[in-house]
Amino acid sequence: MSKDITLEPTEGEAADIEAAVEALVAEMKRANEKMESDQREIDRLKAQTRATLSKLKAA
């Protein structure tokens, strides 16, 4: 026979878990914003490089 055991966190543990999850979500949001910013910079530099190459080919 198997017996199910259910454990529930105390109020303090639940608050700690909630704070940890909120911190992780905030960190993920910051990482996503940084990736978007980096991608915009990559796209800008790519366009600048292509423009420079076009000028060099035309010369």
Tell me whether residue 55 is in a domain: yes
Q: How confident is the model at residue 4 (pLDDT cuts 50, 70, 90)?
A: confident
CA 29, CA 15: separation in Å to the nearest integer?
Answer: 21
Asked whether residue 20 is domain-assigned, the answer is no
Let me know if residue 31 belongs to a domain. Answer: yes
**What band does 1 get if pLDDT is binned at 50, 70 and 90?**
low
Q: Between these two residues, 17 and 2, which has the higher pLDDT value?
A: 17
| Residue 54 within any structural domain of the chain | yes
Q: Enter the pTM of the model.
A: 0.70
Place of tokens 């993920």: 28
Residue 34, in any domain of the structure: yes
Count of Cβ atoms closer than 10 Å to residue 25 Cβ: 10
The range of the structural domain enclosing residue 39 comes to 26-59
Dist CA 36 CA 6 (whole Å)? 42
Is 32 part of a structural domain of the chain?
A: yes
Number of domains in the chain: 1
